[in-house]
């Protein structure tokens, strides 16, 4: 188990949490969070649309404020914390990456489905050319074998990625599966290994600890679980658990508790507890950002959002296929009427 000196924590509430607030973060909210986590000693703060750079579209949801303004605001407030961005090839482009870099973003996580690492090559290489830290982010890691994950991670490593993440986008991985995947990655890669958890089965903290045990040195958290579905590993809780284990990340626990209570808490419109929708995400193995879309489609077509998510799980849909949600809802509605 690490002593904490080699662990780097990325706070993702201003990116993953964008899904929860329908991409409606204000500049003031971003400034308040950025200033507060910087004061607490956070290592990285990820800021962008929930679906990454360029995600503000009709398909994924329009941002209230242009993400470049939000990135610029975060960079302005962060004196020590490095600002990170997410980029999904096909949604974000080299152009947005260059814009983010020019505004001061220092790290980019290039995210692909767990079988599509080859589409990340130009983005990872460009990030390295720009002098940014470049990290691979293999999403929906639960949906592929450890062997396939290693194969794809090695591609990202060959493109210049300085770390590769096992990304549990659906919050569907169980601890023994995390252990197997991280161990396989650690045995076959020369770069750092990261782990990004979602809490849909209430395993985000446990899974993150297992990942650390197996050698992951890049980990993620979201303050107050402000992230898609039931959120991610809750940052302030994760820090408290790690400190109880004698692992000090150099981040002030009390200050992070205060950020959670006084800064991020008021932003959250509801609660980030595990409710039926987010629970089904983990159970069915569906991309966590699909929840809000499924709830809206369910209301529109008069079907249970859980049925939509279960069907999407059977179809093994991936991030970027949000248009399928409406199709599935319409089809379920049609079948229900035919039965009547």
Residue 270: its pLDDT value, please? 79
Instruction: Give me the percent of the chain exceeding a pLDDT of 70.
Output: 98
Q: Which of 154-168, 193-207, 240-254, 312-326 has the lowest mean pLDDT?
A: 312-326
Confidence band, pLDDT 50/70/90 cuts, at residue 58: confident
- What is the pLDDT at residue 322? 80
Residue in the block written with tokens 């329009």: 62
Which position has the higher pLDDT, 62 or 316?
62
169 is in an annotated binding site: yes
What DSSP string describes 8-77?
EEEE-TTTGGGTTTTT---HHHHHHHHHHHHHHT-SEEE-S-TT-TT--BTTTB--SS-HHHHHHHHHHH
CA dihedral 240, 237, 15, 94 (to 10 degrees): 40
pTM: 0.92
- Catalytic residue check, 19: yes
196 is in an annotated binding site: yes
SS3 for 216? coil
Can you tell me the distance from the alpha carbon of 140 to that of 188, in angstroms, rounded to the nearest whole number? Answer: 20
What the block records as the tokens of 160 is 């210049």
**What average pLDDT does the chain have?**
95
List the one residue out of 174, 177, 169 whose CA is nearest residue 281: 169
Cβ atoms 318, 290 nearer than 8 A: no
Average pLDDT on 269-273 reads 81
278 marked as binding residue = no
The token duo for 192 is: 């750092």
Q: Which domains does the chain have, with CATH numbers?
A: 8-267 (3.20.20.70), 289-339 (1.10.8.60)
Strand partners, 164: 136, 193
Cα–Cα distance, 75 to 135 (Å, whole number): 19
pLDDT at 198: 97
Cα-based distances in Å from 135 to 59, 198, 314, 316: 26, 19, 30, 25
User: Of 103-112, 209-218, 252-261, 284-293, where does mean pLDDT reach its minimum?
Assistant: 284-293
109 among annotated binding-site residues: no
Cβ atoms of 46 and 226 closer than 8 Å: no
| pLDDT the model gives residue 1 | 61
pLDDT mean over 310-336: 87
pLDDT of residue 338: 82
Q: Which residues pair with 222 in a beta bridge?
A: 234
Please check if 283 is assigned to a binding site: no
Residue 283 has pLDDT above 70, yes or no: yes
For residue 269, what pLDDT is reported?
A: 80
209/335: higher pLDDT: 209
136: helix, strand or coil: strand
């Amino acid at each position: 188990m690490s002593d904490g000196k080699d662990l780097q924590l990325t706070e993702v509430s201003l990116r993953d949490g964008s899904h929860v607030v329908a991409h409606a973060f204000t500049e003031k909210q971003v400034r308040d969070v950025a200033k507060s986590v910087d004061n607490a000693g956070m290592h990285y703060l990820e800021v962008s649309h929930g679906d990454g750079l360029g995600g503000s579209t009709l398909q994924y949801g329009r941002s209230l404020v242009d993400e470049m303004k939000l990135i610029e605001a975060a960079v302005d407030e962060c004196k020590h914390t490095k600002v990170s961005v997410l980029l999904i090839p096909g949604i974000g482009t080299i152009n947005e990456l260059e814009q983010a870099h020019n505004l001061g973003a220092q790290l980019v996580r290039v995210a692909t489905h767990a079988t599509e690492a080859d589409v990340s090559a130009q983005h990872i290489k460009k990030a390295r050319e720009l002098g940014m830290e470049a990290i691979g982010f293999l999403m929906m890691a639960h949906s592929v074998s450890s062997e396939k994950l290693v194969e794809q991670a090695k591609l990202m490593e060959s493109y210049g990625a300085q770390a590769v993440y096992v990304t549990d986008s659906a919050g569907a991985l169980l601890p023994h599966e995390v252990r197997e995947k991280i161990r396989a990655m650690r045995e076959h890669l020369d770069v750092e290994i990261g782990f990004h958890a979602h809490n849909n089965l209430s395993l985000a903290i446990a899974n993150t600890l297992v990942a650390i045990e197996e050698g992951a040195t890049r980990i993620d958290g979201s303050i107050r679980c402000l992230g898609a579905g039931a959120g991610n590993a809750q940052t302030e809780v994760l820090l408290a658990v790690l400190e109880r284990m004698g692992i000090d990340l150099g981040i002030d626990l009390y200050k992070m508790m205060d950020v959670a209570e006084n800064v991020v808490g008021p932003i959250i419109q509801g609660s980030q507890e595990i409710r039926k929708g987010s629970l089904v995400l983990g159970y069915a193995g569906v991309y966590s950002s699909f929840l809000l879309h499924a709830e809206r489609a369910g209301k529109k077509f008069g079907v249970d959002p859980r049925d939509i998510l279960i069907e999407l799980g059977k179809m093994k849909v991936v991030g970027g296929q949000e248009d399928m949600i409406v199709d599935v809802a319409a089809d379920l509605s049609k079948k229900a009427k035919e039965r009547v």
